[in-house]
A and B are shown apart, each in its own frame.
Chain A
Amino acid sequence: MSSDLSGRIVGDLVNNDIDFVTTVPCKQLAGVIEAIENHDAILHIPSNKEDEGMGLCAGAYMGGKRPCIVMQNTAIGVTVNTLVTLIQFYQIPLPMLISYRGEVGEKVACQVEMALHTKALLDQLSIPTFHFHHRDDVEELDGILKHTWMCRKPTAILTDAGFWRAA
């Protein structure tokens, strides 16, 4: 079940020394958020809004931690300014584990509206973007995290309903 997948994802985070994670909930991410909360090696600070979470991550990074933010793709609409003027401008590495709502399998029509803009916005912002659709795509995560630290950029890992359903 998806708890195995959540455990695998959190294991990759911890193996890459990620020790500070902020989350804004999504139904699709409930399992991974629970696994993050329960892992002793991770300081989990839930945030109210994703731009606030990116501020927390920036501060934690400057304090010597390796941050990650977990959020829904609707957050891309919320965080454009923060991504550009804080994360990119100061060259702060930040992996963003994102639930890609609004793809095939979605039950909420409104989610499709933001899904239509998600990749275009990430492309416009020149954010390296990776789309996990099949269960095996999780094999890429370790390399993506290393890539994020190497290039000191925000990176987007979009996980869609197919990825989570197949788990």
Chain B
Amino acid sequence: MIRSEILKSIVPVITDRLVICNIGLPSQELFQLDDRPSNFYMLGTMGLCSSIGLGLALAQPGKVVAIEGDGSVLTNLATLATIANNASDNFVLLIIDNGSYGSTGDQPTYAGMRTSLAKVATACGCEHVIECEAEETAGTLQDALDANRMTIIIAKCQSGNIDVPVIEMNPVLIRERFMAEVASRNSGGT
């Protein structure tokens, strides 16, 4: 499986959750698969998806899934220490680890070589860290959300991309649509 196939497989699990989606192809793919007001798409800023996700989880009670990449987490590796030391049980960090910088042409990352992001997360103090095969991602993610405890999932998959257009939605509209959704859920809306 490649990343776009994992995303397709987890749509039923994340469709009603608050989702922060990583820059580049992951956001473009999710936008094509299941655009929703509960999705926040990053259009820039490599590396900060997990930080935005943690900030959102700490700020309000709704369950948050941050969809990260291996290259992106490597850019901001210390995020795993911040996440471990400020555990928020409504937060699941899903790192789709294809061992490459997918959006820039599949150059290899160190996560595909000698570096284990699961071991880094554990060493940083994260308590529930699960490395799974691509095919197991949806079930593992569902279990993590049902367990009501902060979980870091590293889903190993193959590198490779599909052709998807860029997101043309205005960034302020993405944010305001998302914030209205968050606010309505937290006021007893959805």
What is A's interface to B at a CB cutoff of 8 Å? 20, 43, 45-49, 51-65, 67, 81-82, 84-86, 89-92
Contacts and interface: CB of A to CB of B under 8 A. Distances in A.
Contact of A85 (B44, B54, B172, B175): B44
Nearest to A82: B45
B63 to A, nearest CB: 12
Nearest to B59: A63
A110 to B, nearest CB: 23
A48 B82 CA distance: 8
The size class of the interface chain B forms with chain A is: 35 or more
A49 B78 contact: yes
Contacts of B78: 48-49, 52
Given A45-B58, A62-B182, A63-B59, A90 B51 contact: no
Contacts of B53: 59
11 contacts: A47-B51, A52-B76, A52-B78, A53-B51, A55-B49, A59-B52, A63-B57, A63-B59, A81-B45, A84-B44, A90-B171
Contacts, number: 115
A20 B54 CA distance: 12
Contacts of A49: 76, 78
A114 B179 CA distance: 36
Nearest to B52: A59
List the 3 closest A-B pairs by CB distance, nearest first.
A59-B55, A63-B59, A55-B51
B40 A62 contact: yes
B183 interface: yes
